[in-house]
Amino acid sequence: MSKPWKIGIIGGTGRIACAVVCELVQNHTLGRGSILLYGRSPEKLQRNLTLIGRVGGADAAEIKVGGAADLDDAIRGADVILYNATAGLAESGGYSAFGVSQGAHILQVAQQVAKLAPEAWLMVDTNPPDVPLMAACRKFGLRRVVGLCNASDIFQRVLSAYLGCPERDLTFSEIGVNHEIWFLDILRRGVSVYDELRRTLPLDYDPSSLKTPYLESFPEWPTAFRNNIALMAACGYLTAPVGAPGRFRGLPLTGAELGALMKRPGDGDYQELVSRNAAREEILRVIRRCGGGIPVYIARVLSAWLSDIPANESIQVLNEGILSDQPETALLQVNCRISSRRIVVPKGLRLPAYISAVLASRIRQGDLAGRALAEQDESLMRQAMLVCPERVEIAVAERVALGRERVEPHMQLN
């Protein structure tokens, strides 16, 4: 019998954390394990434990779920640390965030991971995941780091609805950074359909014709996909997220228009589930809408890592042989093979000239920002901001470096 595993969730009183654990406690392939939730609100912790208990019920998997006494309790001896907190720009553990949301707090957490669970994987699902993890790698030598972003997952759901095929029939060759993934090839049952999509999508795409249970919960995605088609028509390649990367201009729908279409559950919705003693299926229907469906994706990644049932998932990992012309400290989003506590990354990707060029500035800028955060260096953060000077006034770069303003939207991290 394998050794029991432990997951510590930082930000365990949040809605996404609750939804992820609700998925895991239904999975009987994971063996015996425990999950400790650490967060700032005792009331929300109790709320989450109540909902998790209702979803698990009498037939729950062999997974013990409880609250952590403190940060160190959640981390000590864990196999995976899932970071889900929303600390913002606050200083933490003696570190400054330098305009990167959660930057200082993730450094504090990474410092304790290096001390108390040096063999653990540190996974981050808050935005941006990549810059703080690159900083953690540089400062504390952590190499087992994973950024979690479900942009490719949502893209697959929309595209499979358009093609009228099961999602499992589609596989992708992809490369990217947080919230900007470029598809090198798209295969249906092992056969490339990329050229077919280049021909047909601009001609016959109809958002109203896309009907799946998932899209009933997220009706904004078929409309938002019009941006991806418009960008492909201009440059020749499809991208994720659905709605297209935020730094592109002149697309059919603006970021504000897309945001207005998105409806996500709030704390009030969760509390109502508790108050009404909602049943399992209703709880799952509500909480799976968090983050565009990211809890289901995170649970899949964790389940593949914990079990011996392999899966291919799009995650952010260190550039260990993926792109030879980019820094090894960069975090890149690629499709990886995950199973039995191992992650296998693709090696030696060769990129078309356009994708290589368009990604280069974002990869280098993010890597420089990660170095600035690790070294707590204001001048490096100013330099990172000014990698794309057409987006940033010098005075803005100064305010960000001093911690008075967020990096976003001046530096495209999301």
Name the H helices within 117-219.
Answer: 130-140, 151-163, 194-204, 213-217
Mean pLDDT, the chain, rounded, equals 94
Q: 167-205, pLDDT tens digit by residue?
A: 999 999 999 999 999 999 999 999 999 999 999 999 999
Distance of CA 72 to the CA centre of its chain: 24
Residue 410: which pLDDT band, with cuts at 50, 70 and 90?
A: low
Q: Going from the N-terminus, what domains does the chain have, and what CATH number goes with each?
A: 5-147 (3.40.50.720), 151-261 (no CATH)
**Are the C-beta atoms of 87 and 102 separated by less than 8 Å?**
yes
> What number is the average pLDDT over the span 154-163?
98
Residue 398: which pLDDT band, with cuts at 50, 70 and 90?
A: confident
Amino acid at 39: G
Angstrom CA distances, 173 to 9, 133, 346, 349, 400, stand at 31, 24, 9, 9, 35
Q: 230-272, pLDDT tens digit by residue?
A: 999 999 999 999 999 988 999 999 888 888 888 899 999 999 9
**pLDDT at residue 113 above 70?**
yes
> What number is the average pLDDT over the span 264-285?
95
Contacts 24+ apart (CB under 8 A), 62-66: 62/28, 62/30, 62/31, 62/32, 62/33, 63/24, 63/25, 63/30, 63/32, 63/33, 63/34, 63/35, 64/33, 64/34, 64/35, 65/21, 65/25, 65/34, 65/35, 65/37, 66/34, 66/35, 66/36, 66/37
> What number is the average pLDDT over the span 297-314?
96
More confident residue, 370 or 400: 370
- pTM, two decimals, is 0.95
Q: What is the pLDDT of residue 1?
A: 44
**pLDDT at residue 318 above 60?**
yes
**pLDDT at residue 384 above 80?**
yes
- Structure-token pair, residue 390: 């057409």
Q: 35-76, pLDDT tens digit by residue?
A: 999 999 999 999 999 999 999 987 788 999 999 999 999 999
Q: What is the 3-state secondary structure (H, E, C) of 226-283?
A: HHHHHHHHHHCCCEECCCCCCCCCCCCCCHHHHHHHCCCCCHHHHHHHHHCCCCHHHH
> What number is the average pLDDT over the span 289-306?
95
> What number is the average pLDDT over the span 114-134?
97
Q: What is the pLDDT of residue 406?
A: 76
- Structure-token pair, residue 30: 């994971």
